[in-house]
Structure 1
């Protein structure tokens, strides 16, 4: 009987693949780790708050880590091919980072995003050589991305499905391993809480799995903005939870429970008003002199609430949250009083509550 033999290897493709993987890995090798900043709190509280500043990545956000992992995953799976576009459904920052990596390996990139995405993010995607396909309804980004991939013969990256599996959560210098390494000489090197926010859910899944794998006692809290279904789906154990409107806090919050969000790994969730998120980044700028996107404010608000609860209980320890991306992408939104007024957001009560707490009073929000 004759042996059936199908050989799909191609010398030119294999050479291209090896070079593409090398270029993506070399980017990580060139990049220093991001800083872990101390957020000043009264010393007598005995509680330390740290912010992992992911805005210092080459493409300006924590999505740089994700995009690198997704490209390596897609390349090694044989999904990303020479000359064919990568298409992504994104609220902006992931698309900026993926446009960078697509240009690095010499392939086209198309971002499918809501028309309300900040112009600064659109400009950054185009700066890195990508193109933007804008849709009026944010819930359409998935379907449109898949359709464009079919029409072009490209690859739909689908961060909302693959974020949690593309990243090596056991280590390999992921964000969790980096945090614990940087804390090793601090007074409380094993934090009581790490607070993350969720867009894909990949970051919270990576941190939570790493903590369990390393047998730490650290607990994971996910802060969710308005117009996002993660909190409701987690609380009700409903994998099919949805909400009708898109999030005003770019980069986090989703209208459906994304496949990369891993509810079982999360210890606690908080629902944070959008006005509180914006108030928190305004306070962050005053305290550290850094502008950050409002997703960072969502996490900071929740982290400070946890600090307040630890203080009230007489607990000492440390808490960590993230600076997700820089605020200069949102000058016309979260740093614009006119935009806040147009959205009907009053940040004054939340800003007052934060300032009062940092002045030494008990948490009252």
Structure 2
């Protein structure tokens, strides 16, 4: 392995991180008298526009320091979109070829972004086949399969090093409830929930971790039953989260609760977010927000005060022709009005009546 090239590659990636400011922590407006504050960590402001920018950086650094990537390596990933966008960005930075293996149904906005950063999209008709296809391509000489679903939980230093958990707690220091009662995240690989779950235990915080899971995903069933081979065999409609099988990076032991979220609820929540804050976010943010509202309603019913933190995972412009398109929603039989009514009632009264 060319050590001089690896040193320069690590420098380039670290320099990129050093140029980037931390992501914002927005306050979602709730009645002051509730005594509960809701925050959204805005990961859409990363250079590649999503939470997956952190993951891609960690995955490439992990592979570099493990001697897996050299100056002529072709990088391969199985991804439904955002991870591949970010990996293509870093691959171009290092002068490497990048191939994303993805379902053919992936939004055209994400495909265009991958290609904008110099990546190539390799489509499969059956989503579950992208794993084996990525493995096949990664087995070629001078190729490397980044494999986000296996390495996400170990590539990030959960003890600190400016990971997302450390960043959130630093930004919360001057808030009226600086240690969150709950942190709410979705699971695509499981890497983010593993990072938060390990960090709060390492720092001895009382914060609980809630993972929200969309329809068709296997994570909730695995957590509820303890069967890590649990499988639905069905793709998620919420890009970036939910998997037809339980991924190796999913660590249920560091999760305190899981909530299943209907896809119509996720779609409704991003409309509500834009209505109340002006922020335009993707579907996984809606899943997060829907779960956070339910937890806050429980806190209110129990007379508890505190704070809840969740993530704004990516921007809504990537989903202009899907999640924000009424015809697309109708074609997928997603009726969002009843869910919108539930959330508006919650914000007016504090009660969650579904």
Match of 1:139 among 125, 128, 134: 128
Moved more, 179-188 or 82-91: 82-91
Q: State the Cα deviation string for residues 305-328 of structure 1 (Å, max 9, x = none).
A: 101110111100000000000000
| TM-score normalised by L of structure 2 | 0.99
Whether the aligned pair in 1 keeps the contact of 2:180 and 2:207 (CA below 8 Å) is yes
Whether the aligned pair in 2 keeps the contact of 1:64 and 1:94 (CA below 8 Å) is yes
Partner of 1:42: 31
Whether the aligned pair in 2 keeps the contact of 1:294 and 1:334 (CA below 8 Å) is yes
Q: Could you say what secondary structure the match of 1:151 adopts? A: coil
Correspondences of 1:246-261 after superposition (within 5 Å): 246-261=235-250
For these two proteins, the number of residue pairs brought into alignment is: 354
In the alignment, is residue 324 of structure 1 matched against residue 313 of structure 2? yes
Partner of 2:86: 97
Partner of 1:23: 12
Partner of 1:288: 277
The separation in 2 between residues aligned to 1:247 and 1:217, in whole angstroms, is 32
Displacement of 1:91 in angstroms is: 1.1
Q: Could you say what secondary structure the match of 2:100 adopts? A: strand
Partner of 2:77: 88
The separation in 2 between residues aligned to 1:176 and 1:101, in whole angstroms, is 22
Q: State the Cα deviation string for residues 132-168 of structure 1 (Å, max 9, x = none).
A: 0011111011100011112353000000000000000
The separation in 2 between residues aligned to 1:251 and 1:58, in whole angstroms, is 18
Displacement of 1:360 in angstroms is: 2.6
Q: State the Cα deviation string for residues 70-105 of structure 1 (Å, max 9, x = none).
A: 000000101112112100001100000000000001
In the alignment, is residue 311 of structure 1 matched against residue 315 of structure 2? no
In the alignment, is residue 198 of structure 1 matched against residue 183 of structure 2? no
Q: Could you say what secondary structure the match of 2:183 adopts? A: strand
Partner of 1:55: 44
Q: Could you say what secondary structure the match of 2:139 adopts? A: helix
Match of 2:174 among 171, 180, 185: 185
The separation in 1 between residues aligned to 2:71 and 2:111, in whole angstroms, is 25
Displacement of 1:361 in angstroms is: 4.6
Correspondences of 1:343-362 after superposition (within 5 Å): 343-362=332-351
Q: Could you say what secondary structure the match of 2:158 adopts? A: coil
Whether the aligned pair in 2 keeps the contact of 1:224 and 1:252 (CA below 8 Å) is yes
Q: Could you say what secondary structure the match of 2:260 adopts? A: strand
| TM-score normalised by L of structure 1 | 0.96
Match of 2:155 among 160, 166, 172: 166
The separation in 2 between residues aligned to 1:39 and 1:361, in whole angstroms, is 14
Q: Could you say what secondary structure the match of 2:133 adopts? A: helix
Displacement of 1:356 in angstroms is: 1.3
Whether the aligned pair in 2 keeps the contact of 1:224 and 1:298 (CA below 8 Å) is yes
Whether the aligned pair in 2 keeps the contact of 1:42 and 1:360 (CA below 8 Å) is no
The separation in 1 between residues aligned to 2:94 and 2:103, in whole angstroms, is 26
The separation in 2 between residues aligned to 1:294 and 1:58, in whole angstroms, is 20
Whether the aligned pair in 2 keeps the contact of 1:180 and 1:190 (CA below 8 Å) is yes
Partner of 1:148: 137
The separation in 1 between residues aligned to 2:217 and 2:326, in whole angstroms, is 24
Whether the aligned pair in 1 keeps the contact of 2:49 and 2:314 (CA below 8 Å) is yes
The separation in 1 between residues aligned to 2:101 and 2:224, in whole angstroms, is 30
Whether the aligned pair in 2 keeps the contact of 1:243 and 1:256 (CA below 8 Å) is yes
Whether the aligned pair in 2 keeps the contact of 1:219 and 1:267 (CA below 8 Å) is yes
Whether the aligned pair in 2 keeps the contact of 1:293 and 1:329 (CA below 8 Å) is yes
The separation in 1 between residues aligned to 2:7 and 2:97, in whole angstroms, is 18
CA-atom RMSD in angstroms: 0.8
The separation in 1 between residues aligned to 2:139 and 2:213, in whole angstroms, is 33
The separation in 1 between residues aligned to 2:240 and 2:132, in whole angstroms, is 19
